[in-house]
A and B are shown apart, each in its own frame.
Chain A
Amino acid sequence: MKLTDAYERLGWGDPLDHEESALCDVPNVPNFTRIGTTGHMLVELYLDMHESHDV
């Protein structure tokens, strides 16, 4: 799965939309209200794990 597809399924829009604008709200996740770099990193980690053929 590509990063852009993952963002779409998460309801986060296009990753590039976050280039200049403020961070976006993430619904239904306690204590996390925005995507930010931490969220981006976790999505990348998750996709890497899935593609590592050792899941």
Chain B
Amino acid sequence: MTVNEEAVMWVEKYRPKTLDEVVDLNDIVQSLKSFIRNPKTMPHLLLAGIPGTGKTTVALCIAHELFGPSWKTFTLELNASDERGIDTVRDRVKDFSRYSRAAFGNVPFALIILDESDQMTGAAQTALRRIMETSSRTSRFILICNQSGKIIEPIQSRCAVFRFSKLDRKAMIDHLCYIAGKEKLKLSPEAAERIVDYAEGDLRHAINSLQAAAAYKDGVVDEKTVSLVLGEASPVQVQLMIKKALYGDFMEARKIMYDLMGSLGFSGADIVRQMNRELYKISTLTPEQKADLTNIIGEYDYRLTQGANSDIQLSALLAQFAKIGKAAGETT
């Protein structure tokens, strides 16, 4: 495997450059390789699946294989979740497709990779659909998303859709061991299993965990270190905030909330998302209680988008937690 020696973050350093190197995606890779052999037949692509399963990697591999080392000149990479307005997307896409008309070798088009495209609004997608039509002679789109259902039908019908499922445990463990070997790390099998269990099929998370764990002890990653890293890398304060709210200390919970927002600059939406994730790790709650609380989080996630002050919405959410926590405490 070619290693990107310049990159420091391992997710980049060991990101495959060619489709052959891609981990555990044989069927998809085989279909895509036929497009590379004859680029003229390549349609627009829609890559859908959970995070960390190789969608972006595959898209970048395609760019590499089509254009070689100068791929960046012929590829526009946009993240729909960052480029908020459709205007940005539209302007840049339009400009790019116009500018890149000069074809490369036998590749008669430029490549536009639109990551997290399910974050685009319906209106933005409709505009994109037009652009896909008008620029189809000069550019190809690779749309990447978590949920293909959020992509409007007309776009889906214009794309060849590839679904990425959770990566195979064994393939992930093998890949971690491969990286450990390259980095001259002693990775214990239990540690590798622990990382992979925690990552839930997200290879990016697994590699980041491994790299952080490697920073703890020189040359060795054992299960103990991994547990430590995974514990510390999780948002401890968010967990604490949930617990304080549930066990009746609303004021303290709210203070943590203000710290998260004020001194750290987390947005209300960031905190709500993390709360939802951390909720499931709290062992003292029953599945029913968790489901109820998730429901409430969902309601306030929506209210955040409607409201004017995220601290007020989060306070209200914590107050709901305090109420449920108290009620639960009284019945048990």
A and B associate in one complex:
no
Residues of A at under 8 Å CB distance from B?
none
